[in-house]
Amino acid sequence: MECQIVIPSHKRHTRVLTTSVVAGAIICVPESQAKAYRLCNPKDEIVTHPDSVVGLARKRDWIIKHFGSVFMLDDDITAFRRLYTQPGESADVDELTAREIIQATSDAARHAGAYLFGFSSSPTPVSYNSLNPIQLSGYVTGCAHGVLAGSKLWYSPEIKCNEDYWISCLNAYEHRLIWKDTRFYFAQKDTFVNAGGLAEFRNLDAEEKDFNYLQRVFGKEVVTLKKAGGKAKPKHPFQKTMKLPF
């Protein structure tokens, strides 16, 4: 069963980067923006949703209901890379292979009984554990994650910026198991500085509201503030982490 690869996009018709990273991806946009997207992206399939679907969480919820099994990618992805390489070998994966890897990963998740799947959230090779390449619990990034048909997963319209934490926590509650292939990761631009898309809605006030809402729903012991450690400093005061009890 093929998993559709979909790029939710908003007001970035001239700056969709992801279609050059993964072959055959569908761009999903509001009906009122379809003409501009088709004009600027004539070789790509465009699927529209009603203009009444506002916000990324609502858009993602519409997408999983419309497509069934789907892998969603942000529109500002710049590369798909391996975290394991030989000396002198390129880490970048070509667009056709990237599509094949997504399909193979969705099949593996389905056979394992998982509904949520994704790849590494860290671009650092030293974080990759070659003895444990597949993680069965934890967090999947918002920029690149998949939801398979038949799940109990949905996206809360209350979430403005952190639908990845919402879906990861909800999956832990409903299904527990995820399928996360840490051999690969998607690189993207900094959402905070890339105009359009989620940047239109993201600010510190929205981040604070998301943090408080996630704690109310899933518990203060599960969703916590990220602490600075070594050279890694939080990007904003409400950057968070997820601590599952398993």
The overall average pLDDT reported for the chain is: 91
For residue 35, pLDDT over 60 is answered with: yes
Name the band, by pLDDT with cuts 50, 70 and 90, for residue 124: confident
Say yes or no to pLDDT of 51 above 80.
yes
Taking 70 as the threshold, does the pLDDT of residue 195 lie above it? no
pLDDT at 199 over 60: no
| Domains present along the chain, CATH in parentheses | 4-194 (3.90.550.10)
Cα–Cα separations (whole angstroms), residue 22 to 5, 30, 101, 133, 242 = 9, 22, 10, 22, 29
Residue 161 clears pLDDT 60, i.e. is over it = yes
Residue 202 has pLDDT above 70, yes or no: no
pLDDT tens track for 58-108: 999 999 999 999 999 999 999 999 998 878 888 999 999 999 999 999 999
**64: exposed, middle or buried (Cβ count in 10 Å: 0-12, 13-18, 19+):** buried
Distance CA 60, CA 78 (A): 21
Residues linked to residue 201 through DSSP beta bridges, in sequence order: none
CA distance 216 to 135: 27
C-alpha span between 148 and 109 (Å, rounded): 9
Task: Give pLDDT, residue 196.
Answer: 53
| 40: alpha, beta or left? (left if phi > 0; alpha if psi -120 to 50) | alpha
Residue listed under structure tokens 């319209």: 157
Specify the pLDDT at position 231.
59
Confidence bin at 193 (pLDDT 50/70/90): very low
